[in-house]
Amino acid sequence: MKSVEEVFKKISKVGQAEKVRVYVVGGYIRDILLGREGNRDIDCVCVGSGLEFARSFDTAVKQVGSLIEFPDFDTARYILEIPNPKSQTPNTIVIEFAGARAESYDEKSRKPIVAAATLEQDLARRDFTVNAMALPVELLTKKVTPTILKIQLIDIFDGRKDLENRLLRTPLDPDTTFSDDPLRTLRAVRFAGQLGFSIEPGALESIHRNRARIKIISGERIQEELLKMMTTEKPSIALTLLFQTKLLDEILPEVSALRGVEEVFGHQHKDNLVHSFMVVDNIAEQSEDPWLRLAGLFHDIGKTGTKKFIPKVGWTFHGHEHLGKKLFYGISKRLKLSKERTDYIAKLIRWHLQPIGLMDEGITDSAVRRLVVTMGDELDDLLILGRGDITTGNPNKKVRRLKNYDNLKNKIAELLEKDKLSDFQSPLRGDEIMSLSKLKPGPTVGRIKSAIEEAILDGIIPNEYEAAKGYFEKIKDKYLEQATDWEKM
């Protein structure tokens, strides 16, 4: 199969042979109507068994792709590749085959209850009217024209009108739709941010009313939606809706707690929730990476628990980078983040004050070197976060701070070039330290190596082999005196 139209042709042929009517529904149809190209996730509703249809399709296309079966739900996923005219790498198409069904969550259980249904019932049990439109698969075998859409679109709930009005509305009573699957409350917020749609007022109230139901949804699925929110052009749109509906209190109370301004003797601190949302938007202007944007959302969560008013000093948040890191481990556990992502975000939270601190305290070579070595691969991301953290409302101050920040970045780049500090390690390696000092592997070798590294970072010696060896000769006796007998060769 060379194109998505050919894929639809095959599905249509199998449908005729098996006497099963097949409809393409949901996001694929929505995106055609929105003129958004490139959606390669195709949802097919089969009036009959989705799983059996997928098996027949797999046989008919001679197992060209891979079939993943979900017998408990009578659905299957088919993944195949088609050529990409714009690149050597093929395009992956993911087709979900499902029998027409009505699916809902029981009051308490996390497992959905699935029952067979007609196409109309199936569409009624979907999340939003804009996602509840369908086209018979035969009509997608050629480019879909506006006339086809006008005459053939199955649109029982006026999804097309809502799409034109940029409105997210539920096909049924919103309490039913959201209670059927509480993840949809997050999807509403995400679509609003992603597509720039508003949520119909009744649905918005219902999201607020049903917010606690999100508790039955797994951490992984919440994580996925949050990440999709982070991928939008201006993540603060979805984040603000999360806050307004109080979904944020349910899924990220640590972030919600940042809301508010306190005043003591006329001294106010800034609203840290508003600040955090601004930081995420600022990062989004500099980087596409949703994980870095998420780190921006969490960077100040330690502020609530460390806030203190000190007379003559003002509001302080001492140690919030440490408390923030600790709190974040709790979030990571709930959202089931991988270890790699957890370490990445925790590191950015821990060190986020560093670049701005450098700017304020003077940019010395040794401080810059320490930052470079501490951050390693995450240095560029920390610098993006640090720049995004400049949110002062005073325009002159902002220009000045951003300019200073860019100076800092230039200084780091210069020093990196000069020192060749990436992958930093003592140029005198452990093996050589051992043979020169006649030591076996042990703590003393480590101490000597660290002392050489510290001297380089402090600018006492350059990052070069000869200098490191000379320094070693100078300091070695002091360390050898402390070595235990078992370390000596």
Could you tell me which residues are beta bridge partners of residue 42?
Answer: 95
Q: List Cβ<8 Å contacts ≥24 apart for 360-364.
A: 363/407, 363/408, 363/411
Minimum CB–partner distance for residue 131 and ligand CTP (Å): 3
Which of 126, 213 has the CB closer to ligand CTP? 126
Considering the complex, what minimum distance in angstroms separates the CB of residue 187 from ligand CTP? 6
* Nearest-approach distance from CB 348 to ligand CTP, in angstroms: 27
Largest CA distance in the chain: 91
In the complex, the smallest distance separating the C-beta of residue 103 from ligand CTP, rounded to whole angstroms, is 8
Residue in the shown chain whose Cβ atom is closest to ligand CTP: 27
Taken in order 53, 103, 121, 238, the sign of the CA dihedral is: negative
State residue 81 phi and psi, 5-degree precision.
Answer: -115, 145
Residues whose CB is less than 8 angstroms from the CB of residue 348 and which lie 6 or more positions away in sequence, other chains included: 292, 295, 299, 378, 381, 382, 385
Check residue 300 for interaction with ligand CTP (CB under 6 A): no
User: Least CB distance from residue 105 to ligand CTP, whole Å?
Assistant: 10
Q: How many residues make contact with ligand CTP (CB under 6 A)?
A: 12
**Which one, 96 or 419, has the nearer CB to ligand CTP?**
96
Complex with ligand CTP: residue 27 or 462, whichever CB lies closer: 27
| Least gap, CB of 462 to ligand CTP (angstroms) | 53
Q: 9, 13, 21, 41: which one contacts ligand CTP (CB under 6 A)?
A: 41
Question: Which CB, 106 or 262, lies closer to ligand CTP?
Answer: 106
Instruction: Indicate which single residue of 9, 18, 27, 326 sits in contact with ligand CTP (rule: CB under 6 A).
Output: 27
Nearest approach, Cβ of 365 to ligand CTP (angstroms)? 48
Q: How far is the CB of 239 from ligand CTP (least distance, A)?
A: 18
Q: Which is nearer to ligand CTP, 126 or 387 (CB)?
A: 126
Residue 26 contacts ligand CTP per CB under 6 A: yes
The CB-of-96 to ligand CTP minimum distance in angstroms stands at 7
Give whichever of 26 and 99 is closer to ligand CTP, judged by the CB atom: 26
Name the minimum Å distance from CB 64 to ligand CTP: 22
Judged by CB under 6 A, the chain residues 176 through 195 that form the site for ligand CTP are 181, 183-184, 187
Residue of the chain from 43, 200, 378, 453 that contacts ligand CTP (CB under 6 A): 43
Tell me whether residue 129 or residue 354 sits nearer to ligand CTP (CB atom).
Answer: 129
Cβ of residue 216: shortest distance to ligand CTP, in angstroms? 13
x/- mask, ligand CTP, residues 244-273, rule CB under 6 A, reads ------------------------------
Angle at 271 between CA 268 and CA 274, to 5 degrees: 155
Interface pattern 114-153 for ligand CTP (x via CB under 6 A): ------------xx---xx---------------------
Over 103-152, what HEC string results?
EEECCCCCCEEEEECCHHHHHHCCCCHHHCCEEEHHHHCCCCCHHHHHHH
> Residue 229 or 448: which CB sits closer to ligand CTP?
229
- Per CB under 6 A, does 112 bind ligand CTP? no
Q: Tell me which residues touch ligand CTP (CB under 6 A).
A: 26-27, 41, 43, 126-127, 131-132, 181, 183-184, 187
